[in-house]
Amino acid sequence: MFQPANAQSLIGVVFVLGLCWALSEDRKRFPLKLAIGSLVVQVGLVLLLFGLPRLDAARNVYNPLYWLSAGAQGLLQAAGDAVEGLGTATRAGTSFVFGFLAGGDQPFAVTGPGGVFIFAFQVMPVILVVCALSALLWHWKILKWITQGFGLVFQKTLGLRGPIGLATAATIFMGQVEGPIFIRAYLDRLSRSELFMLISVGMACVSGSTMVAYATILRGVLPDAAAHVLTASIISAPAGVLLARILIPSDPAEADDSLLEAEDKRYDSSVDALIKGTNDGLTIVMNVGATLIVFVALIAMADLILAALPPVLGAPMSIERGLGALFAPVAYALGLPWSEAPTGGLLLGTKLVLTEFTAFIKMSALPPEALSERSRMIMTYALCGFANIASVGINVAGYGVLVPTRRHEVMGMVWKAMLAGFLATCLTASLVGLMPAMLFGG
């Protein structure tokens, strides 16, 4: 049933679109048609995956809606089973290498179950396995077909030129820098608006390897975590396209090019794909681990400095208190009750400053009463994106290699792209908050 809390999320939609329009380089060229189309695509995908009624097979076997509903629910169930299977398989490998540190048989009595969970041994190895599996599926052309299918959908529904549509789809599965590799030969010919849009979409989505890692982290605190994380990354892509087009409108001179032949990742064999995929995964794991160590350490240093200042409202100052207060109104606009808004604001600020990995870990460690199930679901969509300070450096470095002639141009727009990516996930979360709770089983 539609409730006032659902209408509250409409504030988030208006806030995001209004802020982007206010910061637009040309406010007179608001892409109204794209805005309507993008929101319809997002809402349609949410309804397809979560909102179709569970019809009785005996009475509706000839009803097309039944088959559509059954297919959507089957897809989500398959996603959940796949994540569980990947987690189980990965634990077998990590337990063999790291023993009880990775969740194997404990040589002593466990008095605090939460202490058994070690991020480095139980989440990061998932990235290795998924990267290797992705390379294998690409070599077998399965992932390539899926990516090209999404690219065609984006091209037809969002009016993107063929190459940018393909890169947008590849970004969803491969990552913010890996996706553009597939149109590397075309990057120097993208318009300024298209280049900005590609960076923004990269920050609005996450890669396939991190999707599984996030679902692993949230498995015990959010029902259907894998389905929500997968859906969040897919439907945030149209939001990223829309907000990028609002901030930097399209160039009227952009031609309607046909789909170019993308640069293909080639592997000599299945074994070669697994080895190279594992090496790529190792690079990502090292980057994730190093980034988390450095940024968490810097925040701890800042908290030590703030602790030396006089208390405010009876408590010492800290980065967490500041982030909670700053982003609490945003969390409220997304649909969280005001009593939970400071907690939601803290998570949003943590995602922006310390990466979404840290934010998801913090959310998984919250006591059950800190956030309701609906609020956890909304925050999952709001946090599921690469828009953070660390990604600014990643994009500058990545695009500096992919298209060195436009490195200065990338540096001039990357911070605005981070804002677009951050707001895109907020827009997605607001649209989910608009949906009646019954659609998600709440």
Both tokens of 267, joined, read 């592997």
Instruction: Return the amino acid letter for 316.
Output: P
Residue 232 corresponds to which tokens in the numbers above? Answer: 């969040």
Report helix, strand or coil for 315: strand
Predicted pLDDT at 273:
87
For residue 26, give both structure tokens. 């040309």
Q: For 74-109, how does the pLDDT look when each residue is reduced to its tens digit (9 = 90+)?
A: 666 676 666 667 767 777 888 888 777 776 677 766
DSSP classification of residue 312:
B
| Cα–Cα–Cα angle for 172, 235, 55, rounded to 5 degrees | 125
Which residue type, as a one-letter code, is found at position 332? Y
Cα–Cα distance between 136 and 265 in angstroms, integer?
11
Query: Amino acid identity of 178?
Result: E
Q: If you write DSSP's letter for every residue of 213-262 in order, what string do you get? A: HHHHHHTTTSTTHHHHHHHHHHHHHHHHHHHHHHHSPPPTT---PPPPPP
And the tokens for 394? 């990643």
Distance (Å, rounded) from C-alpha 346 to C-alpha 334?
14
- In contact, 299 and 305? CB cutoff 8 Å: no
Most distant CA atoms of the chain, gap in Å: 70
Which pLDDT score is estimated for 67? 63
Question: Which position has the token pair 């970004």?
Answer: 171
| CA-based nearest residue to 256, from 324, 178, 346, 194 | 194
Other Cβ atoms closer than 10 A to 127: 23
Q: Are 180 and 187 in contact (CB under 8 A)?
A: yes
User: How many CB atoms sit inside 10 A of residue 137's CB?
Assistant: 18
Q: Closest by alpha carbon to 237, among 23, 427, 67?
A: 427
What is the distance between the alpha carbons of residues 131 and 124, in angstroms, rounded to a whole number?
A: 11
Spatial CA neighbour of 442 closest among 372, 383, 340: 372
CA dist., res. 331 & res. 242, Å (int): 21
Q: Which two tokens stand for residue 366?
A: 């919250």
46: its two tokens: 């949410």
Q: How far is CA 129 from the centre of its chain?
A: 19
Look at the alpha carbons of 228, 142, 401, 128 in this order and tell me if their dihedral is positive or negative. positive
Q: Would you say 283 and 142 are in contact if contact means Cβ atoms under 8 Å apart?
A: no
CA 1 – CA 220 distance, rounded (Å)? 26
- Structural tokens at position 113: 């179950």
Handedness of CA 224, 227, 228, 229 (dihedral sign): positive
Helix 373-383 crosses helix 319-334 at what angle (to 10 degrees)? 100
Our CA angle for 89, 92, 93, nearest 5°, is: 95
Domain residue ranges in the chain: 4-103+115-440
Bridge partners of 312? 315
> Quick one: pLDDT at residue 332?
93
Closest CA to 383 of 274, 229, 278: 229
385: left (phi over 0), alpha (psi -120 to 50) or beta: beta
Residues of the chain with pLDDT under 70: 1-5, 49-77, 79-84, 87, 103-104, 108-119, 122-123, 147, 150-151, 181-182, 184-185, 208-209, 252-265, 288, 292, 313-314, 436-442
Cα–Cα distance, 126 to 425 (Å, whole number): 24
Contacts (Cβ under 8 Å, ≥6 apart) of 137: 143
pTM value > 0.85 = no
197: its two tokens: 């849009």
Distance CA 153, CA 169 (A): 9
